[in-house]
Amino acid sequence: MDSVRLVLIIACVGVFTGPVFAQDNGTTGRTVRDKIVDTTTAETSIASIKKKKDKPQIILENMPQDLREQWYSLTLMNIKIGYMHASLEETEYQGEPVIRNKFNMVMNFKALGTDVTLETTRAEYTGFDLMPRYFLSTSNESGLKQVEGQIAGELAYIKTTLNGETTELKVSVPPDTISEIPGLQSILSQKALKIGDKYNLHIFSFDLLKPVKTELEITRQETLIHQSEEKQVFVFRQTMDVAGGITAKFWMDTDGVTYRTEVPLMGFSLVTTKTDRETALGGMEEVDVVLKTRILPTGKRPTPKAEHLKAEMKLLTGNITEVIMSNARQKLEVETEQSGNVSIQVPTIVAENCPDLPIRDAAAEFLGTSAYIQTAHSDIQAKANEILSGETNSWRAAKKLCQWVYESITDKRATGGFGSSLTVLASLSGDCTEHTTLFIALARAAGLPSRICSGIVFSRDAFYYHFWPEVYVGRWVQMDPTFGQMVADANHIQLGGSTLESDNLMEFAEGVFQTINRLEIVITDN
């Protein structure tokens, strides 16, 4: 199941609150030290600070080596799963002096017993106005993925190359946008840190490939132990406008060194802890993320291939209407802000009532191409034509495609990322995400609108996080090529927020973030 992808998404957000580095104070010309003041809340104008940027704010020649280069251990559920390494250096980009941040992250864990290793390497270039200039990132999360971005004016031009196929997009960049690490540190070093201070700005996330509206607040002061030494630190709360709102914390001293970050997602936390190189690279422990994130229901036991299901659902925190979908197939009756009753009825589809292909007008936005869905590629087009063999009825065509994907992907083991449709067509391997991306690409190539559903499905003993597609045949109908279900059974509960129209991972499972390890299910009828 797809808890593997969820951990990868957590990592994207986790490193978003990554290490910050010490620098000289832009006003006094010296490093801010020992100025710990409890005062009333003050709003800092990011625009006014950026206007002062006419010289380097990160003076690397005066920076000790241990501040230029930092190592962190990564833990998930208090179990070490990897490390992170970051370093700063002065360089030039297109003749302009800039700061380059080199970043590397490695994670190891298990998914239903299968070993998974995820690695990301990135170089980021930031101008002295704090605005990112350029970045180049490579990862193995979908085989081989490379993302290259150039920021000019108020636009970011981004190219995503996934296993040899490139897609391009433009992203708007607000004028108050800063780069993650050097930019954030520069903002925080403009004056003495004060408990209660707030900063509102956009931080360009190199993982999410876009600026993210962010609020920083200094909440308190603490003493922590780092390598047997006491460190006085401030605790920052960082609220990011992604996935329904994610709040992280980081612990930073007055030299600008981050000792710890914590992202409380999915009922547990991804934690980065400052350490030395030897410890960071040291042995990993084992954790099976699929088993750790399953949901054990109470009440009646769901029956296989159920045509209807009723369940009481309760969130420990959050709003039930924001995470549980309500549509023609699945109805949510709200009881309280955090609880409600879900009823699911599998529809009956009559082929003769469904339109012929291609379907161009209705749901046309779900016929396009993305980094993961290479609809227009000749191999995808040819395979769709081969499978359909002239079939023009949209529902019969959908069933042919679903059956072919189910039967053709014979290696159904968990993978480490989101496999693109071309990759899956070549390898014919993967779990539910690979089944879904290949099906959607084939369907769209045939003129059949299709999109992703994210949610949970009951399998064997519990509900697991899962992806499956739905097609438009005059109405939206959910299918599941992973299980060979021409119509997805009632044991599929859809969660909110999912799309394949993006080139980054966060868009796949927005609703999932608010449910993992926080959702209780009581089956009342099945």
CATH number at residue 374: 3.10.620.30
Over the chain, what is the mean pLDDT? Answer: 82
Shared-domain flag, residues 351 and 448: yes
Within a domain: residue 302? Answer: no
pLDDT of residue 42: 44
Question: What is d(CA 256, CA 258) in angstroms, rounded to the nearest whole number?
Answer: 6
Q: Is pTM, for the whole model, over 0.85?
A: no
pLDDT of residue 32: 29
pLDDT of residue 43: 52
Last residue of a domain, one of 255, 290, 325: 290
Q: Among residues 36, 12, 11, which one has the least CA distance to residue 252?
A: 36
Shared-domain flag, residues 454 and 390: yes
pLDDT of residue 314: 94
pLDDT surpasses 80 at 10:
no
Shared-domain flag, residues 399 and 275: no
Query: Which domain, by its residues, includes 264?
Result: 3-290
Within a domain: residue 350? Answer: yes
| HSE of 68, CA atoms in CB hemisphere, 13 A | 12
Shared-domain flag, residues 480 and 413: yes
Last residue of a domain, one of 259, 290, 321: 290
pLDDT surpasses 70 at 258:
yes
pLDDT of residue 190: 59
- Between 263 and 471, where is the model more confident? 471
Shared-domain flag, residues 283 and 329: no
Shared-domain flag, residues 361 and 500: yes
In this structure, of 22-31, 142-151, 223-232, the range with the lowest mean pLDDT score is 22-31
In this structure, of 9-13, 149-153, 368-372, the range with the lowest mean pLDDT score is 9-13
In this structure, of 43-47, 303-307, 368-372, the range with the lowest mean pLDDT score is 43-47
Percentage above 70 pLDDT, the chain: 77
- Between 126 and 362, where is the model more confident? 126
Phi-psi region of 280 (alpha: psi -120 to 50; beta: other; left: phi over 0): alpha
Shared-domain flag, residues 105 and 41: yes
Last residue of a domain, one of 257, 290, 323: 290
Asked if residue 436 lies in contact with residue 454, where contact means CB atoms within 8 angstroms, the answer is no
Shared-domain flag, residues 32 and 80: yes
Shared-domain flag, residues 264 and 333: no
Per-residue pLDDT band for 341 (boundaries 50, 70, 90) equals very high
The kind and range of the H/E element at 491 are: none
Within a domain: residue 298? Answer: no
Question: What is d(CA 307, CA 323) in angstroms, rounded to the nearest whole number?
Answer: 23
Within a domain: residue 249? Answer: yes
Within a domain: residue 137? Answer: yes
Asked if residue 351 lies in contact with residue 477, where contact means CB atoms within 8 angstroms, the answer is no
Per-residue pLDDT band for 491 (boundaries 50, 70, 90) equals very high
Shared-domain flag, residues 129 and 24: yes
Shared-domain flag, residues 486 and 414: yes
Within a domain: residue 130? Answer: yes
Shared-domain flag, residues 261 and 322: no
Domain count for the chain, please give it.
Answer: 2
Per-residue pLDDT band for 326 (boundaries 50, 70, 90) equals very high
pLDDT surpasses 80 at 24:
no
